[in-house]
């Protein structure tokens, strides 16, 4: 418990990077494939969490705690974004009756 | 993270009424997502090495708190303001009076 850094370093750095690449790609694909707006939000969250994982891994391997502090900020900003996004989604659902992303094309005019 | 799980709980209720994209767009999305994955993976091939003097106490909550409240004090306060305004905004947007 006293030596978290070496506990993280049991797994090689490349494995962390590959895992976060996989998570990020799943997020991008979910963003491109689905039309449900909630799933789009979940994909965004997945991408942000992939970056968080990468940041914690790098910060542990470098022995610098700034990266882990940045992860806190990313989490806070993601929470704020999801809260506002869900509020906007509620309004869209109230107006158009669905949460399909294509119903947002009325923003064009 | 709790929000994430709540959304997951809601999703299974209305699975049948979801429209899907046309097949061509789906294939294009799969191909471009796979290409992105391959490109990111290929960038690993050049190899990277982190050789820094390792401070073995970087992940401890004590040092995290020290960094957070000394070096990043202003961003911390700024996120507090951001969060407060987010709460106010979300409640204002979803209020049902108009």
Residue with tokens 């449900």: A36
Read off the pLDDT of each residue in B19-44 and give the average, rounded to a whole number: 87
- Contact of B22 with chain A, judged by CB distance below 8 Å, is answered with no
ipTM of the complex: 0.74
Number of domains in chain A: 1
Read off the pLDDT of each residue in A37-64 and give the average, rounded to a whole number: 89
From the candidates A18, A23, A27, A32, which should be mutated to test the interface with B, based on the most B CB atoms within 10 A?
A: A32
Determine which helix (DSSP H) or strand (DSSP E) holds A80, and give its type and residue range: helix A66-96
Higher pLDDT, B49 or B89: B89
Residue A100 pairs with which residues in a beta bridge? Answer: A36
Read off the pLDDT of each residue in B17-29 and give the average, rounded to a whole number: 79
pLDDT tops 90 at residue B6: no
Higher pLDDT, A60 or B18: A60
What is the extent of the structural domain holding A57? 4-108
Contact B75 A8 (CB under 8 A): no
pLDDT tops 70 at residue A15: yes
Query: Which residues of chain A does B40 touch, with a Cβ-Cβ cutoff of 8 Å?
Result: 21, 24-25
pLDDT tens-digit readout, B52-75: 666 666 677 888 888 889 999 999
Give the domain CATH number at A9: 1.10.287.3510
3-state secondary structure of B17: coil
Query: Which residues of chain A does B97 touch, with a Cβ-Cβ cutoff of 8 Å?
Result: none
Task: Report percent pLDDT > 70 for chain B.
Answer: 65
pLDDT tops 70 at residue A88: yes
What is the reported pLDDT for B79?
94
User: What's the gap between Cα A32 and its chain centre?
Assistant: 15
Contact A21 B30 (CB under 8 A): no
What is the reported pLDDT for B82?
93
CA–CA separation, A14 and B27 (whole Å)? 30
What is the reported pLDDT for A19?
94
- Contact of B13 with chain A, judged by CB distance below 8 Å, is answered with no
From the candidates A63, A77, A94, which should be mutated to test the interface with B, based on the most B CB atoms within 10 A?
A: A63
Nearest residue to B79 via CA among A80, A17, A2 = A80
Q: Which of A42-46, B12-16, B76-80 has the lowest mean pLDDT?
A: B12-16
Distance from CA of A23 to the nearest CA of B (A): 10
């Amino acid at each position: 418990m006293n030596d978290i850094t070496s506990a993280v370093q049991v797994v090689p750095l490349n494995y962390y990077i590959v895992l976060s690449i996989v998570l990020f790609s799943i997020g991008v694909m979910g963003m491109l494939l689905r039309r449900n707006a909630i799933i789009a939000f979940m994909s965004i969250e997945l991408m942000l969490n992939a970056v968080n994982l990468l940041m914690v891994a790098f910060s542990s391997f470098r022995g610098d705690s700034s990266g882990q502090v940045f992860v806190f900020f990313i989490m806070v900003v993601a929470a704020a974004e999801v809260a506002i996004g869900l509020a906007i989604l509620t309004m869209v659902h109230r107006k158009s009756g669905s949460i399909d992303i294509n119903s947002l094309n009325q923003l064009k005019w | 993270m709790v929000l994430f799980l709540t959304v997951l709980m809601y999703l299974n209720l209305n699975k049948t009424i979801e429209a899907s994209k046309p097949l061509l767009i789906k294939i294009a999305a799969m191909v471009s997502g796979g290409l992105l994955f391959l490109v990111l993976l290929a960038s690993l091939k050049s190899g990277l090495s982190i050789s820094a003097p390792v401070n073995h106490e970087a992940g401890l909550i004590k040092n995290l708190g020290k960094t957070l409240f000394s070096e990043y004090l202003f961003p911390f306060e700024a996120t507090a303001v951001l969060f407060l305004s987010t709460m106010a905004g979300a409640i204002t947007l979803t209020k049902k009076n108009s």
